[in-house]
Amino acid sequence: MARRAPSPHLDPSHTATPVVAQPLPRKPPTRVRVEHLGPAVDGGAVPVAASLGETLTLSADILRDGHDALRAVLRWKGPGDHSWSEAPMTHVDAASAGVRWAAPLTVDRLGSWRWTVHAWAEPLASWREEVRRKAEAGQDDLESELAEGAALLEAAAKRAKSAKGDKAARDADRKILTDAAAHLADRAAPAADRVATALASDVVATADRHPDRSRPGAPADEGRLRVDPVLARFGSWYELFPRSWGGLQGVRQRLPALAELGFDVLYLPPIHPIGRTNRKGRNNTLTAGPDDPGSPWAIGDASGGHTAVHPDLGTVDDLEALVVDARALGIEVALDFAIQCSADHPWLTEHPEWFFHRPDGTLKYAENPPKKYQDIYNVDFDCEDWQGLWQALLEVVAFWIDHGVRVFRVDNTHTKQLAFWQWLIDSVHETHPEVVLLAEAFTYRAMMQELAKVGFGQSYTYFTWKSSKAELTEYVSELASTDERLYFRPNFFVNTPDILTEELQTGGPATFAKRLILAATLAPSYGVYSGFEHFEHVAVRAGSEEYLDSEKYEAKERALDGPLLPLIADLNRIRRANPALQQLADTTFLETENDALIAYAKRAGANIVLVVVNLDPHQVQEGVAVVPAALGLPPSFEVVDELTGEQFGWQVGRNYVRLSPGQRPAHVLRVVGA
């Protein structure tokens, strides 16, 4: 730009610097902006976790300067699709002058989906709107406008001609549009008549079939979805140590009973050979007796490591047979994937470079001071041959997938490299999107979220330590919040071989029953570690959450005959019958006017379930369940208690509730005919 000399008036410091034009774009930039695709996690960097068959509402903000009419389509590619599919979007908050457009998408295949939004200004639609407003305002001098409309209709007719599809239909469309154009341009006809023609609905509909996308908006960034099997969201887990059930063959014999109880997943702690060196004795003592079997998490001995089966449990073929029989009964077998080795694992001699050595050459066993795991060595993700290590670990998972396993419970995930998990899970899901991985991680919340973001389909949670009404309400509300449930799926285990909470140690059978009901009705996935149904509750010592005579260090004689099993079977049946209990999204906590009573409503479509639980294992508790009007229920309605079959009349507002502690300290009420 030419500059004149600075004026004598002006402070030179304000004029010395000329304005310099930034480089101009080469092509005319789009006038339509498509932004804020949703749902999205971390702005689209992390895929949203969906489950098979789900219908998602995908949406975006669409803006353009000025007043032109906009059109938008949702475009998507499912797994393996080579071309984009397309469906029109609706301007969902036009009424509130918002800019959100949306369309539904049903995800009917497992794996990775991409989606985006294309939007454009539609000149013909804009013109129609302008002419409509002018005609309504009584303007009669519309010759210029009509000429403009005729030109737009001619262009639409040209697009009709070159459109794909049935030639006869194209020719018909073209004729409608050229006729309308001729009529608009016909000065012999009165303007009002011609305007009416321009606005006629058949012309409008025909033109809409042939939009002008010559100046589309820039395609939006892409949204990503990861479609997992329903099991990633909804399932009942049972955990058992095969060595206490007669090995893999013995477990196989229990499958019909487990299916009868309604379990979906049977999770086995590691089934591999166990190291001898530094083997732990009963109750985690440092020296094992000759008959002590050791901890299954001390993986590997001279006979094999992560791809071997402990000879006392059976063979790889036995595992396969178990998987196949289980699947036939609707149960998936989950193996434990624990990245650690006993001192006798073949990798320590074959790949000593994968383990961390101190300057004095000693190996470092696993520890989290003051806790020590003298029977376990961790691999070193910072080692030189990290690529070989990653590859070997993937091969372990691939080996068991080859042998039919589709679910993995992954041990201590938060102490391994996130980039490694991402790579491993991506590799698995590329050809096996049906595989579900449950992350074991009891650590700070952000790390648990991160593990979900790199691809774990489920996660253990803090549920075992959430006891009071306030704690449960806050925790579940957070998990059910929009942000979190887009990628994080909780699995509410009521106990684990590591976690016998103080509440279970001291609360008696009523506590076991209430914790079971809470887990099974609050979370779509929940789990039970065998022994819970027998009210096992004795800790190794005061202040510890470890079981006395823990099954981690010895074999037991187990049988499926615990007194809590009928309640478990009922809960699993109720969960399968009520879609409301199969998801987390629509959970509303209800006022009870008593801190010992917790109440919540869950809904999926027409299915509404109201749950009230007595949190006090010792006393009868009375209160109310206040059904809010926002639930949309009629002023009074019938509910049936799915646990007892009893029917009650309930209402919006306060409903009196009285619950005894004991084996079934809860109402699980399905709204009838809602």
Six-digit token string for 530: 């065998």
Nearest distance from C-beta of residue 442 to a second copy, angstroms: 12
Cβ neighbours of residue 451 closer than 8 Å, sequence gap 6 or more: 413, 414, 418, 421, 439, 441, 459
Which amino acid would we find at residue 421?
Answer: W
Sequence-distant (6+) residues with CB within 8 A of 491 are 237, 438, 458, 459, 460, 461, 523, 525, 526, 527
CB of 287 or CB of 368, closer to a second copy: 368
CB nearer to a second copy: give 63 or 286. 63
Q: Which is nearer to a second copy, 388 or 634 (CB)?
A: 388
Residue number with CB closer to a second copy (60 or 518) = 60
CA atoms within 13 A on the CB side of 467: 11
Give 148 or 545: the residue with its C-beta nearer to a second copy: 148
DSSP 174-186: HHHHHHHHHHHH-
Sign of CA dihedral 402, 403, 406, 408: negative
Q: Whole-number minimum distance, CB 3 to a second copy, in Å?
A: 6
Q: How far is the CB of 180 from a second copy (least distance, A)?
A: 15
Residue 28 C-beta: closest distance to a second copy, Å: 5
Q: Residues near 497 by Cβ (< 8 Å), separated by ≥ 6?
A: 239, 241, 269, 529, 547, 550, 551, 552
Taking the mean position of all CA atoms in its chain, how far away is CA 67? 39
Q: How far apart are the first and last CA of the chain?
A: 72
- In whole angstroms, the minimum distance from the beta carbon of 289 to a second copy comes to 24
| Tokens of residue 429, six digits | 């899901």
| Nearest-approach distance from CB 135 to a second copy, in angstroms | 9
* Token couple for 146: 């009509």
Q: Transcribe 343-361 into DSSP letters.
A: TT-HHHHH-GGGB-B-TTS
CA distances from 604 to 426, 503, 520, 601 (A): 31, 32, 16, 10
Residue (15 or 588) nearer to a second copy, CB: 15
Q: Reduced to 3 states, what is the DSSP secondary structure of residue 648?
A: strand
Q: Nearest distance from residue 461's CB to a second copy, in Å?
A: 15
Contacts of residue 344, Cβ cutoff 8 Å, sequence gap at least 6: 275, 276, 277, 300, 301, 302
Show the CA angle centred on residue 257, arms to residues 255 and 259, nearest 5°.
70
**What is the rounded CA–CA span in Å between residue 334 and residue 312?**
19
**Are 584 and 480 spatial neighbours (Cβ–Cβ below 8 Å)?**
yes
Question: Distance (Å, rounded) from C-alpha 545 to C-alpha 504?
Answer: 10
CB of 357 to a second copy, least distance (A): 10
- Beta bridge partners, 601, equal 588, 610
Complex with a second copy: residue 251 or 323, whichever CB lies closer: 323
- Residue bearing tokens 């103080």: 502
Min dist CB 427 to a second copy, Å, is 5
| Cβ-contact 61, 35 below 8 angstroms | yes
Cβ closer to a second copy: 26 or 164? 26
| Rama region for 278: left / alpha / beta (φ>0; ψ in -120 to 50; rest) | left
Angle between helices 167-185 and 143-162 (to 10 degrees): 170
For β-strands 235-239 and 265-268, DSSP reports them as parallel
Q: Which of residues 67 and 658 has its CB atom nearest to a second copy in the complex?
A: 67
In the complex, what is the shortest distance from the CB of residue 100 to a second copy, in angstroms, rounded to a whole number?
Answer: 9
User: Could you tell me the CA-to-CA distances from 328 to 259, 261, 436, 569 in Å, in that order?
Assistant: 10, 15, 18, 19
Of 134 and 209, nearer to a second copy (C-beta) is 134
Residues taking part in catalysis: 411, 440
